[in-house]
Amino acid sequence: MKIVLTGLEQIEIQPADQPAVGSGMTRLAVRYCGICRTDAKMWHEGHRDLILPRVPGHEVLAEDEHGQRFTVWPGRICGRCRYCTSGRENLCESMQIMGFHFDGGFSRTLLAPTESLIPVPDTIIPHQACFAEPVGCVHNALTALNLQPGERVVVFGGGTVGLIAALVAKTQGAIPLVIEKDARKIAKAGAFLDATQITALRETHESEFDAAINACPDPIAFSQAVTKLAKGGRLSFFSGLKKNQTIESNLINLLHYREAALFGAYGLTRQNMVAALEMIARHQPALEHLVEAIVPPEQLSRQLPRVLAGDGFKVILDFTGKTGRDSAAPPPPKTEAAVVDKTDANRLFQRK
Is 175 found in the same domain as 112?
no
* Separation between Cα atoms, residue 266 and residue 228, nearest integer Å: 23
Which pLDDT tens digit goes with each residue over 279-335? Answer: 999 999 999 999 999 999 999 999 999 999 988 899 999 999 886 665 444 444 433
Task: Tell which wins on pLDDT, 341 or 80.
Answer: 80
Q: Do 18 and 73 share a structural domain?
A: yes
Cβ contact 316:35 at 8 Å: yes
- Examine the domain organization and report whether 223 and 309 are in the same domain: no
Q: What is residue 182's predicted lDDT score, i.e. its pLDDT?
A: 95
Q: What tens digit of pLDDT does each residue of 217-272 get? A: 999 999 999 999 999 999 999 998 888 888 889 899 999 999 999 999 999 999 99
- Please give the residue range of the domain that contains residue 81: 2-119+296-318
Task: Read off the pLDDT of residues 6-54 as tens digits, 9 standing for 90 and up.
Answer: 999 999 999 988 878 888 999 999 999 999 999 999 999 998 878 899 9
| Residue 59 CB neighbours (<10 A) | 27
Q: Is residue 331 situated within a structural domain?
A: no
Which CATH number is 247's domain given? 3.40.50.720
Does residue 99 share a domain with residue 148? Answer: no
Q: Is-contact 53 42, C-beta < 8 A? A: no
The verdict on residue 337 lying in a domain is no
203 vs 272: CA distance, rounded Å: 31
Q: Are residues 108 and 151 in the same domain?
A: no
Q: Output the pLDDT for position 332.
A: 43
Residues 30 and 78 reside in one and the same domain: yes
Please tell me the predicted confidence (pLDDT) of residue 323: 66
| 196-217 pLDDT tens trace | 999 999 999 999 999 999 999 9
Q: Are residues 234 and 259 in the same domain?
A: yes
Does residue 350 register a pLDDT over 70?
no
* Contact yes or no for 16/107 (Cβ under 8 A): yes
Are 15 and 83 part of one and the same domain?
yes
Q: Name the DSSP letter for residue 91.
A: G
Does one domain contain both 234 and 198? yes
* Beta-strand relationship, 10-14 and 2-7: antiparallel
Domain check: are 60 and 150 in the same one? no
**CATH number of the CATH domain containing 301:** 3.90.180.10
Number of structural domains the chain divides into:
2
Is 14 inside a domain boundary?
Answer: yes
User: Same structural domain for residues 140 and 256?
Assistant: yes
pLDDT over 50 (residue 338): no
Collapsing DSSP to helix, strand or coil, 85 comes out as helix
Domain check: are 57 and 143 in the same one? no
Please compute Rg for the chain using Cα positions: 20
Arithmetic mean of pLDDT, 94-109: 94
Contacts of 177-185 with CB under 8 Å at 24 or more apart are: 177/152, 177/153, 177/201, 177/204, 177/206, 177/209, 177/348, 177/349, 178/154, 179/154, 179/155, 179/203, 179/204, 179/221, 179/224, 181/221, 182/158, 185/158, 185/159
